[in-house]
Amino acid sequence: MTPARAYAEARRGGAVGSARRVARIWWGTLTSGRFFSGWSAAVSLLIAVTVLGAYRSVNSTVEYLPAIGISVLVWAVLVVLVLPVAWAERRIRRRRRRALLVLVTVVGVGAARPLLNDAAGFVLLHEPSTGSWVERVTTNVVIWLIVLSLVATATVAYHTTRDASARLRVALSDLSEADRRADAYARRSRLLLHGEVAKLRTELTQLVAADPGFDEVSAFSQSVRAVSHDLEDAAVLPLSEIPAGTGPVDVPAAPRRPLLARLRPPSPVVVSIAYVVGSLPYTLTTVSTALALIAVVLVFACGFVADAVARRSSRRRSATARGGAILFAWFATGVLFASAAILLAPQTLPTALVPILAFPLLAAIVGVSSDAIHSAIVQMRRLSRALAAQTDAVATRTTRARLELRSAAEQLHGRVQGRCVLFAATVDERAATAEELEAFAATITLALAEIEGTAPTRAAAATAPSNALAQMIETWSHVLEISSDIDEESRIALGREDVTRRVVDIASEGFLNAVKHSGARQATLEVTHGDPDAAPELRVEVSSPGRLGSALPLTAGRGIANLGGAQLFQRGRDVVLEARVPLPVA
């Protein structure tokens, strides 16, 4: 379960949904195989020299620089120790083992860091250990869990979005070529139809002017038959055989945004909870319980003030300016809280100055994580809709062109050729009268006009339902290598338009899902009749190679939800979309 998917699925669940959302986001990040990254190292360095700096025993500004040096040194040692873990988590296949490795590492780093800080301080600066070990270890473990989880959430979401977006852009590029082929096919079909009808008109004019006999009318009938066969052949011509000019068109990627532009207004509750959880163990050991409770209330109050100021000051600004306004608001709030802390507990200096950097830093981490999840959902939804719309447009244009050719071939083969047979029988017995010849010519002329579309048709032809499914598969074949298996009972049921429409929607959603979850570009469609002893239904299944936890879901899960009762699950090495289509009772 990726961060974006968990975020979208539980969005409307209230407090319980929010708790589940946070838990699923965290678990998805923990098991992603990309928990530790370069961004983890960079942010942990900032935390190591600010919020968790080794300055507990610092009493003057002169002592700050050596204390920061100790923090950087210990950070470098821990990064080196974590590198093998980062390498291993990307290669462990089982998600639970991966999560266990990450958790043990983070807790181990949090527990070892105070020991290493004290050891380095004693060896290099001859400073003795200070403070409670329980409080220091607890603070480190909690802060590292929170901060590294937030950073990993952002990096996993951005990475997943980048991978899935790349696959969707390739699919859109392939469909752009199919789109040009569909246009070329439609133009070619119209030219073919107009050309063949014009040829028949010319032959009809020559036939009428020559006082025709049986042989002449039969020859014209054979011409009509040959044209109908040519149109039938053109109606089943694969799009892949239509020249489309240039190759696939590159679909541009979304422009890279500056870091400040990726900063959305962070939740003041999340920022406040993160700060309180990380700082409370230290606070309880340095001030009274009553003062600690006051500090907790002040943290939340300052958080809501910072959020209100940030939102108000960032209105009608560019994304970059909005990010700057958010950081400044939280920095000012940190100054305000630090001032209050110094007034209430001056003995906590210089630790009381930590909120000046901790507030904006935590706000930035939470804001970027929120942006990563939001951007993942928006980007996937936008590309998915574009891909679905493009697929539908190609299928619609191709189906219309094929339908026009089939309809013309049917009218030529039935209506026109049938009239020719009747007229040939007449002239075989005797010469046709002027009225009979004129009536024959008028009937054929009207039929050719209807076929060409220059006269009203007597009845609009309807698309055969089974052709809709075949056309959708053909369109998606420009993107995926598709194999289909439809049993005989299902083919009979697909004769109903409403049933076929449902199957087409499910299959299209499954193919879109296949593009997102895998770079293999393969999919299998199975349509089978349900249990004969149960209510009549079709079981539609689309499977494709991939991992359900390694890519974002279709349009944040909405496409699947709209299918009603559809299930998306992992089966071995395949991601499977399964849905049931009820059949009307005869």
Q: What is the 3-state secondary structure (H, E, C) of 152-206?
A: HHHHHHHHHHHHHHHHHHHHHHHHHHHHHHHHHHHHHHHHHHHHHHHHHHHHHHH
Q: What band does 372 get if pLDDT is binned at 50, 70 and 90?
A: confident
Cα(164)–Cα(215) distance, rounded to whole angstroms? 65
Contact between 482 and 512 (Cβ < 8 Å): no
Q: Packing angle between helix 214-235 and helix 417-429, nearest 10 degrees?
A: 170
- Among 75-89, 92-106, 121-135, 245-259, which stretch is predicted with the lowest mean pLDDT? 245-259
- Among 68-77, 345-354, 360-369, 487-496, which stretch is predicted with the lowest mean pLDDT? 345-354
Q: Answer whether residue 25 shows pLDDT above 70.
A: yes
Contact between 420 and 221 (Cβ < 8 Å): yes
pLDDT one-digit tens code per residue, 42-68? 888 888 877 776 555 555 555 667 777
Measure the CA angle with vertex 545, ends 541 and 551; round to 5°.
Answer: 100
Q: What is the 3-state secondary structure (H, E, C) of 248-301?
A: CCCCCCCCCCCCHHHCCCCCHHHHHHHHHHHHHHHHHHHCCHHHHHHHHHHHHH
| Top-confidence residue, 106 or 394 | 106
Number of H helices, E strands in the chain: 17, 5
Nearest CA among 527, 540, 541 for reference residue 490: 527
Q: What band does 550 get if pLDDT is binned at 50, 70 and 90?
A: very low
Tokens of 293: 């409770």
Q: Answer whether residue 258 shows pLDDT above 50.
A: yes
Other C-beta atoms closer than 10 Å to the C-beta of 504 total 21
- Among 80-89, 100-109, 333-342, 391-400, which stretch is predicted with the lowest mean pLDDT? 391-400
DSSP 432: P
- Among 160-164, 326-330, 569-573, which stretch is predicted with the lowest mean pLDDT? 160-164
Nearest CA among 539, 538, 541, 546 for reference residue 570: 546
Which pTM was predicted?
A: 0.62
Q: Answer whether residue 80 shows pLDDT above 90.
A: yes
Cα(145)–Cα(362) distance, rounded to whole angstroms? 13
Q: How far is CA 486 from the centre of its chain?
A: 28
Contact between 505 and 560 (Cβ < 8 Å): no
